[in-house]
Amino acid sequence: MINSSILLKEYNLKVTPQRVAIVDELYSNGHMNIDELYKKLLEKFPSISLATIYKNVNAMVEKVFLNEVKIPDAKSVYELAKEEHSHLVCSSCGMIEDIMIDTSILQSSIKAQSAFKIQNVDVVFSGLCKSCQK
Ligand SMILES: [Zn+2]
Ligand SMILES: [Zn+2]
């Protein structure tokens, strides 16, 4: 288990029980969308609103404490920010897996074809996870 309050403080984020709960959930589940976070937090804070979750998550994304992962044709998921990685997304069950790939080859092949200046790399592969292939 991580110490969520210390982590929040390190990122200059106000420590609230709701934020600690969000960090705890993301730590144990990896990636969650807003609805999943909302459902989980309702168990601890029955009067919490979806708007409050949004507000807290956005504040943490702004400080780059959380990372928003945009999933094609699905809701964005959030994760604790860590070193750059890509994502494998199962189009059948929605499973999301972190994968370390070297995107420098992709980036240099883009550079060879375009004057475009890459500022952010966000690679998502969609397909079927191992259990959905059966
Ligand atoms: Zn699957
Ligand atoms: Zn991830």
Q: Could you tell me the domains of the chain?
A: 4-80 (1.10.10.10), 86-133 (3.30.1490.190)
Cα 52 from chain centre:
18
How far is residue 125's CA from residue 52's CA, in Å, rounded to a whole number? 31
Q: Name the closest ligand to CA 91.
A: 1
Band (2; pLDDT cuts 50, 70, 90): confident
pLDDT at res. 120: 86
At residue 77, the 3 state secondary structure works out as strand
Q: Which residues, including other chains, have CB under 8 Å from residue 26's CB and lie 6 or more apart?
A: 32, 37, 66, 78, 79, 80
Q: Which H or E element spans position 98?
A: strand 96-99
Contact 37, 22 (CB under 8 A): yes
Residue scoring higher pLDDT (68 or 122):
68
pLDDT higher than 90, residue 127: yes
Spacing, Cα 127 to ligand 2 middle (Å): 16
Band (51; pLDDT cuts 50, 70, 90): very high
Binding-site residues for Zn(2+), please? 90, 93, 129, 132
Contact 64, 70 (CB under 8 A): no
Spacing, Cα 125 to ligand 2 middle (Å): 12
Spacing, Cα 36 to ligand 2 middle (Å): 16
How far is residue 119's CA from residue 131's CA, in Å, rounded to a whole number? 35
